[in-house]
Chain A
Amino acid sequence: MSRTLNWIGQALLYGGFAVALGVFSRWPIYHPLASGMAQIKVSFIHHGLRVADCRPYTAEEQARMAPNMRKSMKCGRERSPVSIEVDIDGKLALRHVAPPSGLSHDGASAMYQRIDLPAGEHRIAVRINDNKAVAGFTAQREATVTLVPAQVMVIDFNPDKGGIVLL
């Protein structure tokens, strides 16, 4: 009798362990995005313009350089931070300034931000400045988009593809 009870006890414990594994490996259902919502991902990786303009080396500067290291233009390494603003339906949804990477601030500026918003038609306005010598913005784009639930729209910045990209 005792042995039978032990077998039953073991079976219950193994079963309980299996149930715990099986249940919590799939339940409760997780909703990363609420029903009826869509998503905008704002991201770019872009080199801001150089802070200082390039200028020709003077004759004295050229003379101080080794002959094989001589070049015509002297350019500062530091680049401008890249700032971005995104309006959704006329309201400011995102404002971010991405500093240049690198110890000498000579690398690309990068950012990534996820925005959840209700699906449907929206007026999107994106403004970017990659030159701190310029007041205001160096690139702008406005568009009306219609997002279906769970759709992901990407806002990127790529001067080779016409500047601000909405995909």
Chain B
Amino acid sequence: MGACGCFLMRLRSASTSIESPGAVSGTGPSFTASLYRVVEHALDKPFGARANPLKQLGAIGFLLLWLLVASGVPLYIMFDTAAEGAYRSIESLDLLPWRLGSILRGLHRYATDAFVCVMGLHILREWMLGRFRHFRKWLWITGVPLVVLAFISAVGGFWLNWDRLGQYSAQTTAEWIDALPLLAMPLARNFLYPASLGDRLFTLFIFIHIGASLFLIFGLWFHIQRISRARVLPEWSLAACLSCTLILLCLVLPVHGQGPADLQIAPAALALDWWILFIHPLTVATSPAIAWGLVLCTLGLLLLLPFLPTRLRSPVAVVNPDNCSGCARCFDDCPYSAITMVPHPDRLDGLHLARVDAAACASCGICTGACPSSTPFRHDTILETGIDMPQAPIDSLRRQLRQGLEEMQDSRRLVVFSCNKGATLLSPATDILHFELICAGMLPPAFVEFAIRAGADGVLVSGCREGGCVFRLGQQWMAGRLVGMREPHLRSSVAQDRWLSVWADPGDEATLQDAIDVLRRRCDARIPVIAKEMMQ
């Protein structure tokens, strides 16, 4: 295999694919991923790619959780934690001035509904995009118990109102749990007589609601352990608009109790919250055993998904201790916290060395793009960098770039570095030298300048749409590096009209083609000028 990498070089309309065994680069998106992208792209138009809510469902979930905490704390302060006074204390919220009570209560309810909805969409998105295997296995598995905790907390919240809906939910849940052969005494007996409902049981309700919420927050901490720079708030515009929408909803459709609970009367008609309490009608319509079966099968399937047979993993990043300066840029840029800095084993001067956690490594190559040793201007015959991808060594890219440019016969020579998860270059041309990268973020920005110095008239860098990077941060880091906002950066001395970046997902091939045409026009405008300069 030697120095060959997975860069897909297209030269003079002849395609050459050089891939190492086991590499996943170049595989197209699945049907479900394509389907999801259609919906996601549709929302890019009104919201913009950066503030598209479908691209930050996890962050929206966090926002809703913060809204729940913010509304839940004052509600708890005003809540009478006794069976007798609970309903009265909740209803007395309506007496607060400026409809504050309605807002607090409504926000708590609607944010819960929205949380469940967003959580479902988040799971659906990750599944449709196939993001539950390999290095994402831990993220997926730690997310499954959070679904259970979210529902326990949400359902338990209805009991605290102790209105007819709370009474029905508590009784039905108790009957459902009693279907399991676990308890010697049926839980449902707690709701036989008004006298049997004591304050101790109410304390248990509170523990379930608040305790499950606290466990949920703790579980979320685990859930995001393996991603760096996890977003716990969405874009401010999205956060503000979503919060205002929920508050407006509280005022237009305030949440009211459905009459005080009375254990001697069976609730006959309930305005059920179907987002959360759908499990009760499901249990009644089928049977407790079937409902348990459905729930356990769903959870089991979710837990099993990451272990289903799949294609081989790509090789992970490899650190070259002789070329690692311990600068920690790869550590900073790794989207999955797969890199840690450890004391260098051979140096006693306090130097550090990057270490890759193979299980957490996404094989995206963003670390290679971040490494200062990846600069192609080094004079070494073989470009050895501090951290490299075995399936796409940076030396291979430099060598093929040099060779490709030397062999190009066209009067106009363009170099296209594109992410192989993004838009595909559909029409190779004789004036294009095309390299497909694992991620746009794996390109050291100095390669743009290197390509120009080596004879390219223009360079195009292409990657996934903003906020849509398969490896989370590749597009963001690359965009920052190109404009000098992030290290390593493209030098400002490189003429602005010689390079271009375009962020296009699969399906945006026309956008990529348009960008190439723009670069061609720029080059055509420059070439006569250069020729004139040379003649003088």
Contact = CB atoms under 8 A, between A and B. Distances in A.
Interface of A: 5-10, 13-15, 17-18, 20-22, 24-35, 37-39, 41, 43, 45, 101-102, 107-108, 110-112, 114, 149-152, 154, 156, 167
Contacts of A10: 46-47, 241
Given A30-B281, A102-B184, A152 B189 contact: no
Nearest to A22: B253
Contacts of B273: 24-26
Interface stretch (B223-231, B259-267, B373-381, B471-479): B259-267
Contact of A25 (B110, B189, B267, B284): B110
Closest 5 CB pairs of A and B: A9-B46, A112-B186, A101-B184, A26-B271, A30-B272
A128 B48 CA distance: 71
A25 B172 CA distance: 18
B268 A32 contact: yes
Interface stretch (B96-104, B244-252, B304-312): B244-252
Contacts of A107: 184
A77 to B, nearest CB: 15
26 contacts: A6-B45, A9-B45, A10-B241, A14-B241, A18-B249, A20-B117, A21-B113, A21-B249, A25-B113, A25-B275, A26-B253, A26-B271, A30-B271, A33-B266, A35-B268, A45-B185, A45-B189, A110-B185, A112-B186, A114-B175, A150-B266, A151-B265, A152-B263, A152-B264, A152-B265, A167-B193
A31 B175 contact: no
Most buried by B among A20, A112, A156: A112
B43 interface: yes
B47 to A, nearest CB: 6
A43 B189 contact: yes
Contacts of A152: 263-266
Contact of A111 (B47, B110, B175, B186): B186
Interface size, B (range)? 35 or more
Contact of A149 (B110, B252, B268, B272): B268
B268 A150 contact: yes
A47 B43 CA distance: 64
Contacts of A110: 184-186, 189
Interface of B: 43, 45-48, 109-110, 113-114, 117, 168, 172, 175, 178, 184-186, 188-189, 192-193, 241-242, 245-246, 248-249, 252-253, 255, 263-275, 280-281, 284
Contacts of A154: 192-193
A101 B47 CA distance: 60
A151 B264 contact: yes
Contact of B110 (A21, A34, A38, A45): A21
Contact of A108 (B109, B185, B274): B185
B192 A156 contact: yes
Contacts of B117: 20-21
A25 to B, nearest CB: 5
Contacts of A34: 268
A45 B270 CA distance: 31
Contact of B266 (A21, A39, A102): A39
B367 to A, nearest CB: 37
Given A10-B47, A32-B168, A108 B184 contact: yes
Nearest to A36: B268
A27 B274 CA distance: 8
B43 A13 contact: yes
Contacts of A8: 46
B18 to A, nearest CB: 43
B288 to A, nearest CB: 12
A33 B284 CA distance: 11
Contacts of B246: 18, 21
B268 A112 contact: no
Contacts of A101: 184
B271 A29 contact: yes
Contacts of B281: 30
A39 B264 CA distance: 9
Contacts of B46: 5-10, 13
A34 B284 CA distance: 13
Contact of B269 (A31, A41, A43, A156): A31
B270 A30 contact: yes
B47 A22 contact: no
Contacts of B252: 22
A112 B188 contact: yes
A105 B238 CA distance: 60
Nearest to B262: A152
A161 to B, nearest CB: 12
Nearest to B186: A112
Contacts of A17: 114, 245
Contacts of A102: 184
Nearest to A109: B184
Contacts of A45: 185-186, 189
Contacts of A6: 45-48
A111 B114 CA distance: 38
B269 A29 contact: yes
Contact of A30 (B48, B113, B192, B269): B269
A28 B281 CA distance: 12
Given A33-B268, A43-B192, A112 B178 contact: yes
A156 B189 CA distance: 10
B265 A150 contact: yes
A130 B186 CA distance: 18
A108 B185 CA distance: 8
Nearest to B265: A150
Contacts of B188: 41, 43, 112
Most buried by A among B117, B267, B272: B272
Contacts of A33: 266-268
Contact of A112 (B175, B263, B280): B175
A74 to B, nearest CB: 25
Given A6-B48, A30-B280, A108-B185, 7 more contacts: A5-B46, A32-B284, A39-B266, A41-B192, A43-B189, A150-B268, A151-B265
